[in-house]
Amino acid sequence: MKNAVKFEDILKPRLRDPEQAAKYLTACFEEGPDVFLLGLRDVVEAQGGVGRAARSSKLNRESLYRLLSRRGNPRLSSLNAVLSALGLKVRFSHA
């Protein structure tokens, strides 16, 4: 029997690529707000962690941790700051 590989070990390297991160976040967003925030946390971790994202987005670290928590309820301006720090932006399309 082969050794199992953690899903995160495959996911994180892929999420370092902004294009893959954008596709992942789009899929998470389509699943709902809770899944989107978990996905955003995955992308933040893959791209250098909360400390780096906090510095880049000019948000304090504690606010960013709260924003990315399961109970997070981010303001649009905070969410936009984090996405901009990751080199991402929100796009809408007609379904």
**Domain extents in the chain:** 7-85
Please report the pLDDT score of residue 33 as a whole number. Answer: 82
The whole-model pTM stands at: 0.81
The residue type at 24: Y
Continuous H helices in 1-95: 7-15, 18-31, 33-46, 49-57, 61-67, 76-85
Half-sphere exposure in the Cβ direction for 64 (13 Å, CA): 22
Do the beta carbons of residue 30 and residue 22 sit within 8 Å? Answer: no
| Nearest CA among 75, 79, 25, 77 for reference residue 53 | 79
Which residues lie closer than 8 Å to 57 by C-beta, 6 or more apart? 64, 78, 81, 82, 84, 85
Percent of the chain with pLDDT over 90: 38
At 49-95, the pLDDT tens digits run 999 999 998 989 998 888 888 777 788 888 889 999 999 888 877 66
